[in-house]
A and B are shown apart, each in its own frame.
Chain A
Amino acid sequence: MNFDDTPQEAAFRAEARAWIDANAPKELEAELSKPSAKRASENRDGMIDVAKAWQKKKADAGWACLHWPKDYGGRGSTPIERVIWQQEEGVYDKLSRPFAIGQGMCGPTVMAYADEEQKRKYLPPLASGETIWCQLFSEPAGGSDVAGLRTRAEKDGDDWIVNGQKIWTSGAHYSDFGILITRTDANVPKHKGLTMFFLDMKSPGVEVKPIKQANGMQEFNEVFFTNVRIPDSQRLGAVGDGWNVSLTTLMNERMSIGARLSTGFPELFEFCSNLMLEDGLAIDDRSVRSKLASWAVKNSGLKYTSYRSISALSKGDRPGPENSIGKLVSGSMLQDIAMFAADLQGASGALTDGDADTAGQFQAMILQSPSMRIAGGTDEILRNIIAERVLGLPGDIRVDKDVPFNKIPTKGR
């Protein structure tokens, strides 16, 4: 057991490090190094231009979407090389966020289901950040239950006509393309009547509206479709096979390892190391230590779980669903830590103006953290995944499986 690179890995790391050192936008380093909770209060849109510039630079030098084939804008790297690149890219990796969904979910789906000509046309600019893609899956009627979606696609000559509404679409307002799952047959059971497409987000009839979140920010959108026409050639997979296509997309979401999730622990540890309580430093208080220690081992447990996954990757193994624990643990931990940090500040903990010592970061974390337990799979869905796919327990009893979609109840009472 060791933490060393193989000679091959070491060579790759050295090459990556040298290139980053010579080319990274160092002027942004300080800003990007700020704690996550603080960053969360920034406007991501403002980052688009610098993010695109960095992505293009990487693409020109062959460092964009490393694990993709060269023909589609990647460099055919191994999974472990991809992780090494992420480690070396460090804080600049945060500039990749606007592309994460396109490259992590839309790209692999297009790669698996589009024809060769389309792949050569659409994938390279997606890899280089010249075009941004979004994923149009969630709907008001289908959150955890993705397949409960109701957006209709009806065949009309060589086109499909789409009507309906999507929700929680990140970056829809700055995206050029999107992959879209629709219902093409409501008379068959829910998983069987779905069909996947990709579309130009500037198509007539597409309307994007930002969603104001509980914490006052706007990171997501609603997207409305009114008689939007999509050519049949932009269908991904067979008609009625959309559910299987979407599983390709969602599987790829969970494959992204080494994406470090924020737990709030480093911020809390630093805060407690400096905070003076009435009778001394917070970190010298035994009740504070007891809490810190509990969180410290969760934090390190996550870190070393990801190291184990990286080692598995290095040996050529495919990472499995056990990586679901990352968000499950960090989501509620972030919330608990934020509340504890505010509690340590006493009545002032409710203020968001930002004292010099904390800059309101924990207050922002309190307001943002509920979404971490929901977005990209609720805590409850993640526990189901662990129980079913890791431990092999049976799935929930399904009452909607063999029922025609239009016979499934839509209201609880």
Chain B
Amino acid sequence: MLRLENLTCGYGETQVVRSLSFNVKEGEVLSFIGPNGAGKTSTLLCLMGLVLCKEGSIFYNEKNITSLPSEQRIKEGISLVPEGRRIFPDLSIFENLMVGGHTLSKDKCLKNISKGYDYFPILKQRKNQLAGSLSGGEQQMLAMARALMVNPRLLLVDEISLGLMPKIVDECYEVLKALKGQGLGIILVEQNTEKAIEMADHIVVLEAGNAIWKGSSEMAEKEDVIQKLLI
């Protein structure tokens, strides 16, 4: 589904990620693990077309999308749940979801909004409330519902558990598992390594922009990768 070949990306002159290669298949979860500043978020933003890809190629369903603008990548079926949620605080829940479906027709948009409400019923109850006034957990649900508006086939999820109560984190992971079950490919960036390994099929450990370990989550557990490499 997604194939990265020697991806190097960064901002201006700076390279943040160097020569990164990996594959994600449908229904698979790949987790990025690594310390702050390792380049995890930049990789996701680069996949979304928001950070410059300097070298290498990104193939999505065998199509080279390396130089495609964000707008086209969404249409291809890639969507992002950004770090820190980054919902639009001055827009209502409903309006946030409408912007999430900006590339869709209005009818399709309304249909997908009601699907989003099925995943997260609380959003329906508060649909006219300003997103900025929601709790952290509700904002995270909104960020996920917004990313699902475009019926993505590949979901990029950045730090979903950051600053949230464990109960809410579990709820968000339940939704991710359901989506995985529906055949979505998911790339997960997570500080909570336990959750990341539990959820993932494959793990990539990043440090200072380089992939220092790659393998299946079973291997990661067997080799005690986290203890050895990161602590």
Query: Is B a genuine binding partner of A?
Result: no
